[in-house]
Amino acid sequence: MKLTNFCWLLFSSFVLLYSCAKRDVVLFDFENKGYQGWMLQGEAFGEAPATGPLEGQLPVAGFAGERLVNSFHGGDDMCGEMYSPEFVIERDYINFLLGGGMGADVFIALEVEGKRVFETHPVVESETLQWYSWNVEEYLGRKAVVKIVDNQRGGWGHILVDQIEQGDKAKSVIMPDYEKTFAITQKYLLIPIEDKGPESQVVIRQGTKRLSETLYIRVAQTQIDYWVPIDVEAYKSQNITLWFQHVKAGDIGFPRICQSDSFEFDYAEPYRPAYHFSPYYGWTNDPNGMVYQDGKYHLFYQHNPYGSMWANMHWGHAVSEDLVHWQHLPAALAPDDLGSIFSGSAVVDADNTAGLGKGALIAIFTSSGKRQTQSLAYSMDGGRTFTKYAGNPVLTDADMIDFRDPKVFWHEDSKRWVMSLATSQTISFYNSADLKTWMKQSEFGEGVGAHGGVWECPDLFPLQTPDGKTKWVLLVSINPGGPNGGSATQYFIGDFDGKTFKADALPYPLWLDYGRDNYAGVTWNNAPHGRRVFIGWMSNWDYANQVPTVHFRNAMTLPRELFLQNSGGHLVLASRPVDELTQLRGQVVSFPIQRISSKGASIDNLFEGNTGCFELEMVVVPNGASKFGFGFVNSKGECLNYTFDREKMCLELDRSKAGRSDFSGKFATVSQAPLPACSEYRIQLFMDKSSAELFVNDGEVTMTDVFFSSDVFAGMRFFSSDLCNWTVKDMKVYSLEKIR
């Protein structure tokens, strides 16, 4: 062939190719200062396309040109719908950019000759738009309209749309209905996680059989922060499928999911407590189902085994014989078709009142699905395995949205089980003879106590007063609305007759703990010797999901025994660390009496080999000084300061310079507690790497706070802004041992 002929052939094939690949047709680019022929209803879409984020919205990215459709006008609660002018379908695909919320009532739809043929919801909650595509081959030549809908109120109730085009190719990299099957040869499937990435919806299947409810897992898209295991040992030499609602082509995580016989990670990462209970890995919030049976304290807890952020609520499980050393056990309860497993309690049914077995350990918890309802599960092997009761749910309410956290105990006088349940901003009391049928008896809380947020996690129990009378204490956690911001636990003291709780006239709200990090705590059922032992969640919903830990997030407070004590003319609820903790004491250093002038004083090194785990005891004598205090200091210049203000009669904790606080604007705060009026203060303080628990006068006032310092607080300083000298006496520091 001659060269000219060859060139001619090449040229004509290019022309042919070019004319086959028809150019994209832009249907709507929303670049004008009006909606140009679209029909609008409602206010959410405003008068014209937006130029980016609207007031109160996070940054919006990923749109084309200068403008986009944004239904955040007036915030998430505004609703609206918009219809496009009619157009003819001329290409195989319609591509568009989409972002916003994932709710059922935010979507973009295609209607062909009046019939809806596609309805697409964003697959992640995001203010960054990405390409989506509809394959419309079968509708070529037909007339269509696009409808954009935002009828969703509340969080993420808005939609973002831009650049609706017709073209020959799909532009979306979203692969819906993606699945991967593994022939199981090892113990775990390891999943790479990106902590701040969006959640993927995952179902574990075997063939067509579902082995799990939908799990929300942050499978890595751009970086791997840590791994989580799915235990598949029971399926060795069988096939297991992971189904994903969608994946994005190019995400790095999906191809890296692998099998392994071991699950290794840095258990001792810097902020992991040494002697507080923390989950082996993954997220925790409230302690649950605390009960003592056959020599063992059971601690269940709100747990996400698939990541270090709140999601997929299971009941994790641990047991201890001494409240100090904990053995981690496999998760006790996993989500089911009634919902995820929210907080609740456990009892030992010694007389088989429920007919589920004599001595059964019965968990009563909230199933949180479309509604919140109460369910049962029982165990005949000391909590190792649970069976969900076939008649679940056992308690429902048609209207209540916040209807949760049942705490049940046996009320001997009325020979009935009593349940305290959080019902919005009150606590409702129910009773039952068999744990299965519950009758409402009364409701407490209107017009009394703090009401700055939703009421959660109640607990009702009797305690002896110092003069030997019985009084009933009702714990109620509240979020937000705590005395120092965010979550906290208030209490009421009064009488209970098996049906109704009547609070004594006291200066409510009264707080169990004035620190920022003691929430959702309740007490053990059946603890031996009539002890009332409490444990709380050592975090705050203000920042719990953001604290800078990796393989685990959040821990529990120390276990504490509760007492009624007289203070300031009335009864208060005091918390004292349980005696069992003294077994952790290692070396002890005693310090001589110190008189602190306005020059201050300091101790550079409390003891050799300090790893940030110690207990401090001392007596603080003000001697007329009005503002003074002590603090912990480290080599990086960070400090955690406690200030006694005898004029304002308050005790202040300042953690704003105690280390990292960049992860949340709500963390670097100064908290205040009321200071009892007395001539000396007995101080007991427990430090554990990233937490400090202060007990004043045998727990009359407590402050529990976490912090994230860059080095161990090895030294102390004492300060005074007053001419009077104050005194520190009987000061001792004990190093404390690790529990695992």
Cβ at position 154, least distance to ligand FRU in Å = 17
Cβ at position 405, least distance to ligand FRU in Å = 5
Cβ at position 403, least distance to ligand FRU in Å = 10
Q: Are 633 and 710 in contact (CB under 8 A)?
A: no
Nearer to ligand FRU, 99 or 344 (CB): 344
- The Cα–Cα gap between 276 and 615 comes to 13
Nearer to ligand FRU, 307 or 622 (CB): 307
Nearer to ligand FRU, 163 or 288 (CB): 288
Q: Are 264 and 220 in contact (CB under 8 A)?
A: no
Name residues contacting ligand FRU, limited to 476-535 (CB under 6 A): 520
Q: Residues near 209 by Cβ (< 8 Å), separated by ≥ 6? A: none
Among 111, 286, 542, 693, the residue binding ligand FRU under the rule CB under 6 A is 286
Site pattern 386..415 for ligand FRU (x: CB under 6 A) = ------------------xx----------
**How many helices (H) and strands (E) in the chain?**
1, 54
Q: Is residue 539 involved in binding ligand FRU (CB under 6 A)?
A: no
CA torsion sign for 250, 254, 260, 265 is positive
DSSP state of 527: -
Q: Is residue 313 involved in binding ligand FRU (CB under 6 A)?
A: yes
- Size of site (CB under 6 A) for ligand FRU: 12
Q: Residues near 583 by Cβ (< 8 Å), separated by ≥ 6? A: 322, 324
Nearer to ligand FRU, 477 or 720 (CB): 477
Cβ at position 706, least distance to ligand FRU in Å = 16
- The Cα–Cα gap between 198 and 178 comes to 17
Cβ at position 521, least distance to ligand FRU in Å = 10
Q: Which of 559, 586, 590, 591 is nearest to 575 (CA)?
A: 559
Cβ at position 554, least distance to ligand FRU in Å = 11
Looking at the DSSP bridge assignments, the partners of residue 615 are 686, 734
Cβ at position 487, least distance to ligand FRU in Å = 7
φ and ψ of 304, to 5 deg = -110, 110
Cis ω for the linkage preceding 393 (within 30 of 0): yes
Among 95, 278, 366, 684, the residue binding ligand FRU under the rule CB under 6 A is 366
- The Cα–Cα gap between 328 and 53 comes to 46
Among 71, 152, 293, 343, the residue binding ligand FRU under the rule CB under 6 A is 343
- The Cα–Cα gap between 147 and 39 comes to 9
Which of 286, 349, 542, 722 is flagged as catalytic? 286
- The Cα–Cα gap between 555 and 279 comes to 7
Residue with tokens 């409702």: 428
Among 226, 283, 300, 342, the residue binding ligand FRU under the rule CB under 6 A is 342
Name residues contacting ligand FRU, limited to 696-735 (CB under 6 A): none
Q: Is residue 300 involved in binding ligand FRU (CB under 6 A)?
A: no
Nearer to ligand FRU, 70 or 302 (CB): 302
Nearer to ligand FRU, 343 or 545 (CB): 343
Q: Which of 248, 243, 231, 140 is nearest to 194 (CA)?
A: 248
Among 111, 162, 456, 561, the residue binding ligand FRU under the rule CB under 6 A is 456
Q: Are 652 and 672 in contact (CB under 8 A)?
A: yes
Nearer to ligand FRU, 544 or 687 (CB): 544
User: Hey, which bits of 213-264 come out as E strands?
Assistant: 215-217, 226-231, 239-248, 258-260
Nearer to ligand FRU, 545 or 725 (CB): 545
- The Cα–Cα gap between 274 and 711 comes to 15
- Does the active-site annotation cover 413? no
Cβ at position 618, least distance to ligand FRU in Å = 34
C-alpha triplet 382, 406, 457: angle, nearest 5°: 110
DSSP state of 580: G
Among 285, 426, 431, 725, the residue binding ligand FRU under the rule CB under 6 A is 285
Among 457, 574, 640, 706, the residue binding ligand FRU under the rule CB under 6 A is 457
Residues annotated as catalytic (active site), given as ranges? 286
User: Which residues form the interface with ligand FRU (CB under 6 A)?
Assistant: 285-286, 302, 313, 342-343, 366, 404-405, 456-457, 520
